[in-house]
């Protein structure tokens, strides 16, 4: 294999590997629910929730995890998370209602996002949800609405850490303290601080949390106790064991130009270990540790993608394969680039898709295959970088994109050409077999209580 043509095999959990091991099962699912079809594993979600809670509380006992609803619109996963006592991070009326319908109590919901509608603020007040304030204007609207709300309301003020000072989101220190002073007379309102960073550097998050604690220390000198800190999401998920941006760049690309996302696909510290490391390193500062422990402070985490590790796969059927040039082929899939949303960022979803075909003989000769969608758009390309399979795809074969529950299924979906959005189904192991449910009708807690599943 020439340098730069390396593929990056996806990491597979034992549960996912078992599910993908039987071709007939996958063909039946695609035949029944269409292509593409998104398959979710709610049992994996429940397991992930336990791992997150156990590991982070091991480092700091007063830690709470909330699932960021924007990462995946799946009822079965949301019900698994609520059953594991996780809260919900929502940014719209629709997400708020979805969270409550999946069993999340209003007091365990955190309403984030900038410039929330009055309808959303009113809903949060009515159900005792925490509201993250992004501006002084929003603070004014919330207090006006709050005059008609119940007491014991909970407000987070979104700060701008030094590394984010040019962001259009959040409050600088001057505006922050004006908001604090506007809340101070209203003793029924609890105040917290929150931030959200757009990169994955661990030390940046440690610095931001320490900055938030320093602000809380300053507020304490003015008689305001802040003992809640929301450090947002942005914990990397490890998709592959290894990933080299340079190797990826040097591969064969359909456009002739590599489309590179700097996402840390093979992050050395990922998911709950990344969150635990942020908390642990913050606590190494004696001042920060003393403030948190002396004030019985709570740390809130809002993972989305990182909480969905190994929680889903996307299956697409091969329509046809046609020659592009010597040893290069287009593979037309029954689906579109909208269905794997990394293309939203003009980059590729790096983990190598898996070809699930018949028992055709494999060859020693690698050939380049470009995965394209079924639409009339030249830009409908599911993977700009060629896949180098040793088996030639045929109509009816299935291409599986692994670990797609986090953002890949939902962020860029479209009904272009009036083609319906992909179905979502939930897969649950039952003894040595698998049971398939429509996602919206699968409630893992009820199924377990009725002894219908074994995992």
Note the pLDDT of residue 325.
Answer: 87
The DSSP symbol for 106 reads G
Note the pLDDT of residue 356.
Answer: 94
Longest CA–CA span in the chain (Å) reads 76
Which of these, 231, 216, 217, lies nearest to 279 by C-alpha position?
231
Note the pLDDT of residue 364.
Answer: 63
The DSSP symbol for 307 reads G
Which of these, 74, 133, 132, 130, lies nearest to 99 by C-alpha position?
74
Strand-pair partners of 315:
37, 400
Residue 318 and residue 329: Cα distance in Å, rounded?
Answer: 13
Note the pLDDT of residue 444.
Answer: 78
pLDDT in tens, the chain (455 residues): 344 456 789 999 999 999 999 999 999 999 999 999 999 999 999 999 999 999 999 999 999 999 999 999 999 999 999 999 999 999 999 999 999 999 999 999 999 999 899 999 999 989 999 999 999 999 999 888 866 544 547 899 999 988 888 889 999 999 999 999 888 766 667 899 999 998 899 999 999 999 999 999 999 999 999 999 999 999 999 999 999 888 888 889 998 888 877 789 999 999 999 999 999 999 999 999 999 999 999 999 999 999 999 999 999 999 999 999 888 999 999 999 888 877 777 788 999 999 998 766 666 667 899 999 999 989 899 999 999 998 899 999 999 999 999 999 987 788 888 888 899 999 998 877 899 999 999 987 776 665 555 55
Contact call for residues 215 and 173 (beta carbons, < 8 A): yes
Residue 277 and residue 70: Cα distance in Å, rounded?
Answer: 24
Note the pLDDT of residue 150.
Answer: 46
Transcribe 333-374 into DSSP letters.
Answer: ESS-GGGSGGGGGTS---SPPEEE--SPPP-S--EEEEEE-S
- Token pair recorded at residue 130: 């925490």
Sorted by where each starts, the structural domains of the chain and their CATH numbers stand as: 14-40+310-445 (2.40.37.10), 42-235+270-307 (3.20.20.10)
Residue 142 and residue 133: Cα distance in Å, rounded?
Answer: 9
Residue 350 and residue 214: Cα distance in Å, rounded?
Answer: 39
Q: What is the pTM of this model?
A: 0.93
Note the pLDDT of residue 187.
Answer: 63
Note the pLDDT of residue 448.
Answer: 66
Which of these, 297, 162, 138, lies nearest to 217 by C-alpha position?
297
Residue 88 and residue 298: Cα distance in Å, rounded?
Answer: 16
- Token pair recorded at residue 221: 């000198």
Residue 192 and residue 297: Cα distance in Å, rounded?
Answer: 10
């Amino acid at each position: 294999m020439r340098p730069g043509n390396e593929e990056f095999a996806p990491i597979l959990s034992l549960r996912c590997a078992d599910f993908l091991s039987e071709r007939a099962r996958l063909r039946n699912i695609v035949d029944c629910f269409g292509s593409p079809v998104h398959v979710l594993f709610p049992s994996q979600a429940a397991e992930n929730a336990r791992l997150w809670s156990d590991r982070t509380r091991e480092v700091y006992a007063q830690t709470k995890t909330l699932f960021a609803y924007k990462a995946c619109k799946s009822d079965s996963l949301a019900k698994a998370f609520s059953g594991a006592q996780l809260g919900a991070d929502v940014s719209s009326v629709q997400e708020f209602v979805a969270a409550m319908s999946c069993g999340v109590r209003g007091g365990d919901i955190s309403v984030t996002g900038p410039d929330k509608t009055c309808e959303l603020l009113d809903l949060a007040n009515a159900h005792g949800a925490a509201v993250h304030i992004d501006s002084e204007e929003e603070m004014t609207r919330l207090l006006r609405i709050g005059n008609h709300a119940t007491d014991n309301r909970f407000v987070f003020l979104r700060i701008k850490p030094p590394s984010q000072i040019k962001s259009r989101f959040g409050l600088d220190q001057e505006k922050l303290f004006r908001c604090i002073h506007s809340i101070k007379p209203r003793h029924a309102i609890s105040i917290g601080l929150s931030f959200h960073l757009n990169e994955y550097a661990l030390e940046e998050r440690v610095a931001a949390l320490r900055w938030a604690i320093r602000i809380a220390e300053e507020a304490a000198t003015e008689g305001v106790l802040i003992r809640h800190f929301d450090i947002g999401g942005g914990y990397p998920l490890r998709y592959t064991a290894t990933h080299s941006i340079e190797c990826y760049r040097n591969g064969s690309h359909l456009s002739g130009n590599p489309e590179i996302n700097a996402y840390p696909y093979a992050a050395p510290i990922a998911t709950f270990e990344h969150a635990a490391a942020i908390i642990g390193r913050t606590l190494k500062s004696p001042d920060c540790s003393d403030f948190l422990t002396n004030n019985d402070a709570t740390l809130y985490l809002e993972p989305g993608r990182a909480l969905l590790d190994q929680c889903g796969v996307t299956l697409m059927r091969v329509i046809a394969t046609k020659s592009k040039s010597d040893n290069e082929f287009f593979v037309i899939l029954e689906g579109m680039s909208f269905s794997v949303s990394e293309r939203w960022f003009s980059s590729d979803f790096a983990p190598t898709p898996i070809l699930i075909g018949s028992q055709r003989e494999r060859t020693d000769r690698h050939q380049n295959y470009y995965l394209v969608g079924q639409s009339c758009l030249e830009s409908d390309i599911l993977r700009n970088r060629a896949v180098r399979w040793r088996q030639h795809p045929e109509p009816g074969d299935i291409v599986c994109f692994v670990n797609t529950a986090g953002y890949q299924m939902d962020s860029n979906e479209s009904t272009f050409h009036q083609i319906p959005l992909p179905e979502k189904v939930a897969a649950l192991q039952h003894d040595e077999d698998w049971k398939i449910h429509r996602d919206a009708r699968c409630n893992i807690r009820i199924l377990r209580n009725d002894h219908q599943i074994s995992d």
